[in-house]
Amino acid sequence: MGISKTMEVMSEEDRALLTDREKEIISGEADVSDNYRYKMESIVRNRIRKRLGEDIDFLEEHFDEAYEIATEAVCKDGVR
């Protein structure tokens, strides 16, 4: 596995929705331009809009335990 693939796998394993770098950028801790921060915010918004619901639906159908964990973490009283 190449270095870039290894780094990609490591960042995927260490996140749920956001990578540590994305958190640094969005929080303003990273030294990036405002345009780059806005771009990152847009990427995260789109990730939530386009993929999160699909993933939750998939878990509900195929992996009950993970579905329950996800809904409890995101929703008050586990209600979606």
> Model confidence over 63-80: pLDDT tens digits?
999 999 999 988 875 455
Q: Quick check: 52 and 17 in contact, CB under 8 A? A: yes
More confident residue, 14 or 24: 24
Which of 52, 72, 68 shows the shortest CA–CA distance to 60? 68
Neighbours of 39 (CB within 10 A): 13
pLDDT number for residue 44: 95
CA dist., res. 51 & res. 59, Å (int): 12
CA dist., res. 23 & res. 27, Å (int): 6
Residues 56-61 have a mean pLDDT of 95
Counting residues of the chain whose pLDDT is more than 90, the rounded percentage is 64
Residues 3-15 have a mean pLDDT of 57
